[in-house]
Structures are given as structure tokens and as C-alpha cells.
Amino acid sequence: MLTLGLRSGEYIVIGDNIVIKAVQLDNQVQLAIDAPRDMAILREAVYEQTHPTPECIVRLQERDRKKRSKAKAAAQAE
């Protein structure tokens, strides 16, 4: 999985027909997605009602848990 940081106004292009742009609204950065109408774009909660959590997300969650665990152990050691 590729992880990118975007500032408001920056965008990424996927293939020839998908653009994802970071847009700042009030104090939040949101994603504006331009993709073909026949391509399903679903939020996590909607997607996971009918599909299992994607494996790449499971791996990221596990990695984040390990990092938090190490940080907590380091803080307790101080």
C-alpha cells in the first residue's frame, strides 16, 4: 500500500481516469474524487457491510498496534 501525504489543493492521479484531490473545508481536509460513474467508491463502513476488511488495511492496523505498543513500553520504561 502506498501512503501519501497531501496538502489542500494537491492531487494524485490513478491510471488515466481517476483523480483524488485534497480539499480544505473549514478545519478539515476532505477528498474530492473524480472517477468514472461506473466505478464504485464506497466509504469503509458501507464497504465492510458486504465485504471483509481489505488485507492491506488489516496489515496497517497491526503495524499501528505494534507501534503504539512499543511507544507505550518505551514511555513506561522512562
Tens of pLDDT, residue by residue over 6-17, are 999 999 999 999
> What CA–CA distance (Å, rounded) separates 1 from 3?
6
50 phi/psi in degrees, rounded to 5: -125, -5
44 within 8 A of 31, measured Cβ to Cβ: no
Give the mean pLDDT of 26-32. 90
Provide the b/e sequence for 21-51 (b: ≥16 CB within 10 Å): bbeeeeeeeeeeeeeeeeeeeeeeeeeeeee
- pTM of the prediction? 0.68
Confidence check: pLDDT of 32 > 80: yes
